[in-house]
Copies of this chain bind each other. A is one copy, B any other.
Amino acid sequence: MPLNILVTGGAGFVGSHTVLELLNAGHTVYCVDNLCNAYSSGAAKLPESLKRVQEITGGKVTFYDVDIRNRDDLLTVFRKHKVDCVVHFAALKAVGESCRIPLQYYQNNITGTSVLLEVMAEVGVFKFVYSSSATVYGEPRKLPITESHPTGNCTNPYGKSKYFTEEILKDLCESDPRWAVVSLRYFNPVGAHKTGRIGEDPNGEPNNLMPYIAQVAVGRRERLKVFGSDYDTPDGTGVRDYIHIVDLAEGHVHAIDKLSSGSISGFRVYNLGTGRGYSVLEVVAAFSKASEREVKYELVDRRPGDIASSYADVTLAARELGWTAKRGLEEMCQDAWNWQKNNPNGFAG
């Protein structure tokens, strides 16, 4: 059934790919973004990522340059459209930066979400998909990580903001049975849309592995720093569960289907991953092969707060959402490379 979906932070990496899949699925999308992390050329009404989403899909995104912390602006958008469901991406997301400016992270991520939820309740919208992260699990006690793994013990403000927000959502659902909330715990989203027209476009030095590798391959950066080569993993480098961004986006579409079917209520969490871990060096090798470029790297010390291995148990999402990741590491690298080589400087061109 076509729905009216309001997407916050829809101009970002996960947001734009999800908006694309929502349009492909026939939904109407209203997007709210404060553009703090998205490129748009001066004259454009739309951020570049969403302009390209429109080109790819032939669909339309109604865009609002609104900060979710601004209650009145947000209320205006909700009053203008009959919204069935909200997908909430808007958040700051850089771990290192979160340690330098924690208050901004808490204000954006927690206050922002609280304001959004209050406004939703005011206008009578109670279906919510939250953009969470495997970071809420802290250091894994057992692998693969199931959704019943304890949460908390996060080591940085970014991670805490995700964990705190999940707790707020849980309390909210317990306080009022009208809420139906799905929290999607992402493992490591990578890759790009097959067209190479949208992809990950980090500001400044990338925080995540694959954009860094891609920038090395394309010649924007000299070499990759591999943080830690003495972990208890097959080759000593950190192991993560990388998931293709299009698979991840499709997971959101499935979550919305489930929510709109009315078959789930209260607070639900699902891992979005492949269930398979790859080491940093495996990713480097796969990317080199896909790009046919050498990716120079050096082994350096561990970063504080990093963990050895993390990968998901993905059976719950398969069972309850009918969703499984379909794309493997090779395709992740090919698509990331296709995006990078066609957009060596990201959306700014």
Residues of A within 8 A of B (CB): 99-103, 106-107, 110-111, 114-115, 117-118, 121, 152-153, 156-157, 160, 164, 167-168, 171-172, 174-175
Whether A175 pairs with B114 at a CB distance below 8 angstroms is no
Known: A103-B172, A106-B110, A107-B111. 13 other contacts (CB 8 A): A99-B171, A100-B175, A102-B168, A102-B175, A103-B114, A103-B117, A103-B118, A103-B168, A106-B168, A110-B114, A110-B164, A157-B168, A160-B164
A152 contacts across to B, CB distance below 8 A? 152-153
Partner of A172, one of B102, B167, B171: B102
How far does the alpha carbon of A153 sit from the alpha carbon of B152 in the complex, in Å? 9
Whether B160 pairs with A99 at a CB distance below 8 angstroms is no
Whether B175 pairs with A101 at a CB distance below 8 angstroms is yes
* Given A99-B174, A100-B175, A114:B107 Cβ within 8 A: yes
Give the distance to chain B from A196, nearest Cβ to Cβ, in Å: 38
Name the residue on B nearest A174 (C-beta). Answer: B99
Name the residue on B nearest A105 (C-beta). Answer: B171
How far does the alpha carbon of A121 sit from the alpha carbon of B121 in the complex, in Å? 33
Whether A107 pairs with B101 at a CB distance below 8 angstroms is no
Name the residue on B nearest A101 (C-beta). Answer: B175
Name the residue on B nearest A165 (C-beta). Answer: B106
Partner of A114, one of B106, B121, B153, B160: B106
Give the distance to chain B from A155, nearest Cβ to Cβ, in Å: 10
How far does the alpha carbon of A138 sit from the alpha carbon of B121 in the complex, in Å? 30
Whether B167 pairs with A171 at a CB distance below 8 angstroms is no
A106 contacts across to B, CB distance below 8 A? 110, 114, 168, 171
A102 contacts across to B, CB distance below 8 A? 168, 171-172, 174-175
